[in-house]
């Protein structure tokens, strides 16, 4: 049972919200890997294309460009609050797909399986974080 003084019962009240700057920093941290990855791919486009080819994705050039655009634009949407829910869901779906593509620990050689399993579950945590961002954004709309 939750009493009315429980943090869970009052989590949505204004007195329990993060300060604006801390909320933005949390969003920045959530998007950091996508901002870094998008910029690295943008400035090393041939490496981005090689990554697509490594995972058997074709056509590699448009998929690399789309990945860069998604990582950077969806992150910007989240950080600047422009259709934040949509940017968050886009990164959630992208991350879920990429996780099952790149971190198949169940079929990896034993020496790689441990690290791939860690990465797999860390990425599932990111998916959950993005779903929560989308949910909170949609819930806060009038």
For residues 120-140, average pLDDT: 97
- Burial of 130 (C-beta count, 10 Å sphere; 0-12/13-18/19+): buried
**pLDDT at res. 6:** 36
Cα→Cα distances 133→75, 97, 110, 112, Å: 12, 19, 35, 32
**CB 103 within 8 Å of CB 116:** yes
Q: What is the mean pLDDT of the chain?
A: 90
Question: Which pLDDT does position 14 carry in this prediction?
Answer: 52
The total of other beta-carbon atoms located within 10 Å of residue 67's CB is 20
| Tokens found for residue 54 | 């490594």
Predicted confidence (pLDDT) per residue in 33-90, tens digit: 999 999 999 999 999 999 999 999 999 999 999 999 999 999 999 999 999 999 999 9
Residue 4 has pLDDT above 80, yes or no: no
Structure tokens at 83: 């259709």
Determine contact, residues 48/64, Cβ cutoff 8 Å.
Answer: yes
C-alpha torsion 114→110→94→126, nearest 10:
-10
Question: For the residues 93-115, what does the mean pLDDT come to?
Answer: 96
Residue 3's pLDDT band, with cuts at 50, 70 and 90, is: very low
Q: Say what the pLDDT of residue 107 is.
A: 95
Residue 64 near residue 51, CB atoms below 8 Å: yes
């Amino acid at each position: 049972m939750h009493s009315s003084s429980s943090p869970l019962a009052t989590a949505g009240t204004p007195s329990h919200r993060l300060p604006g700057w801390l909320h933005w920093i949390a969003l920045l941290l959530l998007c950091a890997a996508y901002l870094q990855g998008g910029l690295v791919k943008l400035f090393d486009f041939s490496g981005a294309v090689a990554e697509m080819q490594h995972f058997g994705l074709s056509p590699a050039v448009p998929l690399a460009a789309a990945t860069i655009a998604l990582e950077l634009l969806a992150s910007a949407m989240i950080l600047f609050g422009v259709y934040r829910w949509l940017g968050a869901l886009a990164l959630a779906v992208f991350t879920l797909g990429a996780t099952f593509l790149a971190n198949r620990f169940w079929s990896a050689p034993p020496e790689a399986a441990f690290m791939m399993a860690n990465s797999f579950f860390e990425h599932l945590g990111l998916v959950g974080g993005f779903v929560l961002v989308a949910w909170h954004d949609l819930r806060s709309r009038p």
